[in-house]
A and B are shown apart, each in its own frame.
Chain A
Amino acid sequence: MLYFINFGMPDYKSGIEHAELKRLRLFEQHDYPCKIIIHDWSRDLHATAARAGVDDQHLLSMFDYFQKTVSVPQQRVTVTDIDLGISNPQLVKDGPNHRYLVSRPDGRLLARVNYDEENNEQVTSVELFDGYGNLYRVDIYDSRGFRTLLQWYSPDNKIDNEEWVTPDGQVVMRAFHKFNAQGKLVTTGWWLQDHKQLVHQFATLDQLFAYFLNVVNEKGQNTFILDRSLLADDALIHLDRPAYTVMHLHNSQAGNAQDPLHSVLNDNYEYALVNINKYSAYICATARQTKDVITRFHPTCDMYTIPVGIVPESQLKAPRVPESQRIFGKIIAVARIAREKNLGALIKAVEIAHDRVPEVTLDLYGYPDSANNYGEKHKLTKLIHELNLTDVVTFKGYTSNVEAVEDRAQIFGLTSVMEEFNLSIMEAISHGVVGVTYDVNYGPNDIIQDGQNGYVVDYGDYQALGARLITLFKDPALMQKISDGAYDSARRYSPDNVWQGWKKLIDTAKERLKGVE
């Protein structure tokens, strides 16, 4: 079996989750069995995963496994289904807070039953009060409709112990919270009763997860793809039984992506890189990154370059949109409004272009990063005002229909500090949008082939980027030629091509695990 390891599958996904989902689709299309292993507990894992198109067959949550809830039919649970221990509770709906207040006949509060307003008042949690008005426990309900986690409260109203239960109420996992030597309330241990009734004790959740990976790897030939290094970089190189263990880089391995051979290592990957040969293999999303890793670390493990983006066959075959049908001067960027996306540089390049080509406009698609109280968005807004570009540059927010935008735009601009692949620029070229990008590691300078499907300018040289924009807008024939090149180049990310990369890994893994039963 092939496993991808991640923390969860939330509604708000980063590029890593998107990459994982695309990979999952590809494996499904080739009928190759695989599962996403989930490290964190989440009450609505199965709901969010289902929305992302991941069914129970492809999901293996550690908590589910020990709670025996890997696959549980959806059940409807509303306030009247909760047995609070008295026969005639008084219910008062507190709509604004999405809950019911449940009282004893003498008026003492018995419970607050919280529900999901968007889901027919399905119960999400129950806050329980004793007869003296103490909140003593919060029972959290899985989105599938069973009690999953009991959080016991201390007399001073902090969570003191957490217990995960099976649907029939057996406690199978516990986390303890106690004061440490500094007097701070911290998680001080984990307790697990496994399927054989054996009790295990762990200092940390990571240790527990390491044990779980060994349980998963108890038999058969298994491949583990680690998509979030810190979840299991240690565990994977200390498995009890052989497995094909693969570290998947989803970001630059170097702290300064422009100086990959010398700069301090990205701390997410430092441990994994120092121990590089203890893994069976590494995956990078671009050839350039693979080359840099080899140059710096001289690994003897297997090295793969497998793009994390896949352009679906339907898009490769879709009718092409000629430049004449696009909005003249329309530049787009699809990126979070975040510091590392460095959109200020793109705005400055657009200013240069706009001076010569007044039709130029820039639309920014992406939700603003909340760091520093949305500091980046404030900074960019200020810049746009200073450059007098308020009619030119527009914040469009997050869009789930980026394809429509791409079919109308001419140029995709990118000036990030660092990238790992950048799915957006790959999607853009597959829609014939010309990419103009800084020479930034890794992804943009791989996806964009200078003069064929776009242009790559030196990192930090926004004047050069502005000049390229002018050249393209002033030369419609060139624009059309490069756009055609963009459509053509998308074939590099066809499902077949990407699958070939995975196929090689699968075959190698089989070879390496020969003799493992």
Chain B
Amino acid sequence: MIYLIGENVFSLNSGTEFSQFQRLHALKRAGHEVKIVTRNYNRFLSQNLKQHGLDQQDSINMYDFFQKALNQPRKKQGLRYLESILLQDYHVVGIDNNRSEVHYQGKTIANIHVMPATVGLVGDVEYLDDLGHPAVREYWDWRGFKSMVESYHPDGTIGSQRFLDPHGQVVLEITHMNIDGQVRPTMWKLLNYGGHNRIFDSESAIFTFFLNELNRQRQGTFISDRRSLDANVLAVDQPVQTIAVIHSQAKDKQGIYADYQLALNGNTTTHFDKVALPTKQEERALRRFVTYPNCLHHVMDCYYKVTTKDRQLSAKPTLVYRGMLTEVKRILDLISAFQLIHQQLPNARFVMQGYFTAGYQSSVENLIKQSGLNDSVDLLNYKVQPTIYDHTDLFINASENEGLGMNMVESMSHGVPVISYDVPYVNTLLPNNNLVANGDPAALAKRVVATLSDSQGYAALSKKAYQIAGQYNETDFVRQWEELLG
């Protein structure tokens, strides 16, 4: 069994998760038993899995595991059909598509929130006390069972969370109390697990226990994709093997980043059997900085199916950036570059697709507005399917660095060439004439304008893009991974 260890299958995922999902699909198709193992509580998990082409059988979430809900089928639980609502005494009053209120003699005694992305299915029931404070809230899983019950301290902070199995039995309790004057989760308590209660001081501690339970039930290879989970994976007792997969640049001139020490060098008692790096160059660069250089391996981190349509420059050129919209991606540089491009090619449009990290959206929107680009720049929501490439000409990238740049491989697999700053390890992916000086939006703009003004040259670039992307194919991916797994 191969366990791919992650934090979550989010509703909005980063490249780390996309890489995991690809690996799962490929290894599964190659006949391996693979599961994505996640730590976070996520009552929308089964919906998120589906969005990414996965199903419940592919996932072992810790909370699902303890809640005995790994194989729970979906049932649509309409909020008006809740067996707990005393319709003889109470009125259920629809407020809008997202919320209904429960009234008793004209007073609101509870709110029922609709499950997001559904019509009238129950998302949570929030019971109010007589003064209107939220007093206890029951959260429903996407699959239509009451999954978590939350209560509150007098100041409104969370007091306790109880997790239920689909029969309503409490299986796990989280207590929230003070740590250094701040209310935070302080205890995880498994109830009657294997006939006993068990307490844990942190979510990490219970996650380690959980991974060991998995390994005890079915010994396996544990692959850590997130640095936040390396310690948990290393704490698995007698796994088949442990592998850390690095998805990004792990060191700078000062040396290995603190977050990557455990993945690359282990701790005093143990270390990863293997460390997978997305490029040969990074593997080489790290060799003399690590204690166990022989554990380092270069393995492909992504693969794409190449489309073979010949690309022509469009009359109204469209630039694209698809990926996380966050500071290290230097989206502001892309907008500055696009402003220069737009001055010369007023027809040009720039489309960004992805999700923002907290706080970044306003600075991006402000710059777009200040630059007078509101009509030429589109911000599109996160989308799993890469349909955006049907109508784009060039991908532009200004990120500080990349493990490889899977978003750019994806772009090239659609024949859309990439112009990027010359940064590690994008510079191992792209030929020199697709790279411009790091941190120079004017240089980026100049290269883009030149490319968009030369339709023959563009056709050649597109062909080259297909060729590069072609190296990242599933067959080679599986071969490399099978070699690594041994």
Q: Mark A125-142, 1 if CB is under 8 A from B, else 0.
A: 000001110101100000
> Which residue of A has the minimal Cβ distance to B88?
A198
Does A297 belong to the interface (CB within 8 Å)? Answer: no
Chain A CB within 8 A of B191 CB: yes
Residue of B128, B129, B157, B179 near A132 (CB, 8 A) is B179
The B138-197 residues at the A interface (CB cut-off 8 A) are 149, 151-155, 157, 159-160, 162, 168-170, 175, 177-179, 183, 186-187, 189-191, 196-197
Question: Quick one: closest A residue to B179, CB to CB?
Answer: A132
A263 is an interface residue with CB less than 8 A from chain B:
no
Q: By DSSP majority rule, is chain B's interface helix, strand, loop, or mixed?
A: strand
- Output the least CB separation between B178 and chain A (Å): 4
- A side interface size, CB within 8 A: 42
| Smallest Cβ-Cβ distance to A150: which chain B residue | B160
Decide: A188 near B131, CB < 8 A? Known: A131-B201, A169-B169, A201-B104.
yes
Q: Give 11 pairs: A residue, B residue, CB < 8 Å, sorted on A.
A: A84-B199, A130-B201, A132-B186, A134-B177, A136-B187, A153-B177, A155-B157, A160-B159, A169-B169, A179-B154, A201-B104
Using CB atoms, name the residue of chain A closest to B199: A85
Bound complex: CA A185 to CA B131 (Å): 12
Question: Are B130 and A203 within 8 A (Cβ)?
Answer: yes
The answer to whether the Cβ of A170 comes within 8 Å of any Cβ in the partner chain is yes
CA distance A131 to B236 in the complex (A): 23
Interface residue? A86 (CB, 8 A) = yes
Q: Is B416 an interface residue (CB 8 A)?
A: no
B binding-site residues for A, Cβ under 8 Å: 83-86, 89, 104, 109-110, 127-131, 133, 135-136, 149, 151-155, 157, 159-160, 162, 168-170, 175, 177-179, 183, 186-187, 189-191, 196-199, 201
Q: How far is the CB of B109 from chain A (nearest CB, A)?
A: 5
Alpha-carbon distance A480/B68, docked complex (angstroms): 82
B154 lies within 8 A of A177 (CB): yes
Chain B proximity of A496: nearest CB distance (Å):
47
The one of B84, B175, B197 that contacts A137, using a Cβ cutoff of 8 Å:
B175
- Contact call B154/A189, Cβ cutoff below 8 A: no
Q: Is A35 an interface residue (CB 8 A)?
A: no
A178 engages B129 (CB within 8 Å): yes
When the two chains form their complex, are residues A85 and B198 in contact, meaning their CB atoms are under 8 A apart?
Answer: yes
Question: At the interface, yes or no: A152 with Cβ under 8 Å from chain B?
Answer: yes
B334 to chain A, nearest CB (A): 45
Asked if A155 and B153 make an inter-chain contact with CB atoms under 8 angstroms apart, the answer reads yes
Whole-angstrom CA separation of A156 from B152 in the bound complex:
13
Chain B residue with minimal CB distance to A161? B151
Are B183 and A155 within 8 A (Cβ)?
Answer: yes
Contact B159 A132 (CB under 8 A): no
Name the contact of B186 in the complex, choosing from A85, A130, A179, A203 (C-beta under 8 A).
Answer: A130
Q: How far is the CA of A219 from the CA of B235 in the complex (A)?
A: 61
From A83, which residue of chain B is reached at the shortest CB distance? Answer: B197
Q: Decide if B159 touches A161 in the complex (CB within 8 Å).
A: yes
Distance between Cα atoms of A168 and B168 in the complex (Å): 11
Contact between B177 and A191, CB atoms less than 8 A apart = no
A132 to chain B: which residues have CB within 8 Å? 177-179, 186
A200 on interface, CB distance cutoff 8 Å: yes
Asked if B186 and A191 sit within 8 Å, CB to CB, the answer is no
Given A193-B84, A201-B109, A188:B159 Cβ within 8 A: no
Q: Which of B154, B175, B186 has the most CB of A within 10 A?
A: B154
- A212-251: CB near B (< 8 Å → 1, else 0) gives 0000000000000000000000000000000000000000
Q: CA A153 – CA B201 in complex, angstroms?
A: 18
